Amino acid sequence: MAEEKSQASSSKMLTLKASDGVLFEVELNIAKEMKTVQAYIDDCEDIETIPIPNVLGKHLAIVIEYIKKTNEEYDAEFEKQWNMDDLQLLLLAANYLNISGLQECLCKAIAKRIENKSPEYVRKVFNIENDHSPEEEAKLRKEYKWAFEGVDKD
C-alpha cells in the first residue's frame, strides 16, 4: 500500500548523462538538490535527459547516493571511504552541480586531512610546486614559527 502511494505521488523521473556517457535515472526531487540541474529544468521544462559534462559516471553515482542518504550520521562517515584524489573530484562535482550540503561536507573533510600537517605534506597532497625563494620561505617560517609547533611528522 505504501509503495503504491509513493508511486502515485512520486515525481517524474529524469535522466542525467555523465561525461563518460553513463546514464542515471533519478527522481525529480533528487535532481532538484543539484541547483545547476534545477536551473536547467527551469529553463527547459520538457527536458528528459540532462548532460553533466564535467562529472564522470563514477563520481555522479556517489553524488546521487549522497543526496539520497544524507543525514548527520551518513555525512560523518561519508568522507572516510574516499582517497584525496576522489575527494577533490567530488568537491569539483559538488561545486559544479551546486549542492551546498555536499560542498560543506567535502570542504570540511579535505581541511581535516591537511590540518596540522607540514607544507611538504600539503604540497604533495595537492601536487603543488614550491615557488617560494629560499629567502621568502625562511622569512615565512620565522614569521609563523608558532604555527609549526606540534605539526605532525611527515
Partner 1 sequence: MVHHHHYHEYMQQKMRRNTSNQQQQNKRHKFFINDNIDILREILKRLDGPSLGVASCVCRLWCNLTNNDDSIWEHLCFRHVLTPPPATVRPVVVALGGYKRLYMVCVRPVLSRLSESERVMKRVWTRHEVQLSLSLFCIDSYERLAGGGGMIASDASPSSLMFLCNPINV
Question: Taking the complex as a whole, how short is the minimal distance between the CB of residue 132 and partner 1, in angstroms?
Answer: 6
In this complex, which beta carbon is closest to partner 1, that of residue 13 or of residue 140? 140
Question: Taking the complex as a whole, how short is the minimal distance between the CB of residue 26 and partner 1, in angstroms?
Answer: 21
In this complex, which beta carbon is closest to partner 1, that of residue 61 or of residue 119? 119
The strand ranges marked E within 28-152 are 49-51
d(CA 34, CA 71): 17
Paired with 25 in beta bridges are 15
Question: Taking the complex as a whole, how short is the minimal distance between the CB of residue 13 and partner 1, in angstroms?
Answer: 27
Q: Which residues bind partner 1 (CB under 8 A)?
A: 19-20, 54, 56, 85, 88-89, 91-92, 95, 103, 107-108, 110-112, 114-119, 122-123, 126-132, 136-137, 140-141, 143-144, 146-151
Sign of the C-alpha dihedral computed for residues 59, 6, 101 and 66 taken in this order: negative
In this complex, which beta carbon is closest to partner 1, that of residue 29 or of residue 130? 130
Question: Taking the complex as a whole, how short is the minimal distance between the CB of residue 25 and partner 1, in angstroms?
Answer: 23
- Are 86 and 59 contacting, i.e. CB atoms less than 8 angstroms apart? yes
In this complex, which beta carbon is closest to partner 1, that of residue 30 or of residue 94? 94
In our burial notation (b when 16+ CB lie closer than 10 A, e otherwise), range 43-80 reads: eeeeeeebebebbebebbebbbebbeebeeeebeebbe
